[in-house]
Structure 1
């Protein structure tokens, strides 16, 4: 079943033509904390080539610790975060909260990344932890 989702105002919609995500997890990096406005970002990772989008997406270019670009996608109408896309990798991390409601209910996060940036009051392990990105 494909993964489908949209922004808050529904101006941006997307479909990831996959049977299942490559990874579903909690991303504790500082940038994801800031983009989500929370202690971490729930991410659903899919191959870039499997994602199709419609609507007014704006991309902001940031720099990862590796020095490579990371593009943060959001709706240019309502500002909802949609995804982050590491330029140097063939994947894109959809923001779990932007998935359609019935799909969100079926998610089973199994991984934590960037636990090196995990906030001290959030120290209970939510899933399989990696200090940075899994290798």
Structure 2
């Protein structure tokens, strides 16, 4: 008898050197960010982030941690973002915000284009004030962050 329980999705870099399961079968939320940083990072008009809990992913398994490289970049309000990427092809895979006091956030952004089987429907658009493309008015969108999105 086949199980109907949803299984985690697979995250894989462009070259296939790095592959790992998502912490849960579906993200908590998903957004397309139009800020300048996300555009630079993605090399496109926006960056897509599937937000997952860190439980089951962090701390990273030693095998996965040994494969990934990390770029730490400063963000707003004294925070930083750990940007995990493949050292072979350069694909960004995970972003994790670290608060000013050094506490890592309990959620991570997994880059949507690297998640096989991701359901892209319902993703909101954020920082549309910086958008370089027209966003249809019927799509959920925010000039910056939605009011409920935590900024710590």
TM bracket, shorter-chain basis: 0.7 to 0.9
Listed as ranges, the gaps of 5+ residues in structure 2 are: 1-6, 100-104
Comparing 1-10 and 125-134, the one that deviates more: 125-134
TM-score with structure 2 setting the length: 0.75
> When the two structures are aligned, how many residues end up with a matched partner?
131
Aligned partner of 1:115 among 115, 119, 128: 128
**1:1-135 equivalent positions in 2, closer than 5 A:** 1-51=7-57, 54=64, 56-88=67-99, 89-100=105-116, 103-104=117-118, 106-119=119-132, 121-125=133-137, 127-134=139-146, 135=148
Listed as ranges, the gaps of 5+ residues in structure 1 are: none
- Specify the structure having the higher radius of gyration (Cα): 2
Superposition CA RMSD, Å: 2.0
* Structure 2 counterpart SS, 1:129: coil
TM-score with structure 1 setting the length: 0.83
Change (3 A) 1:29 1:68: same
Change (3 A) 1:8 1:19: closer
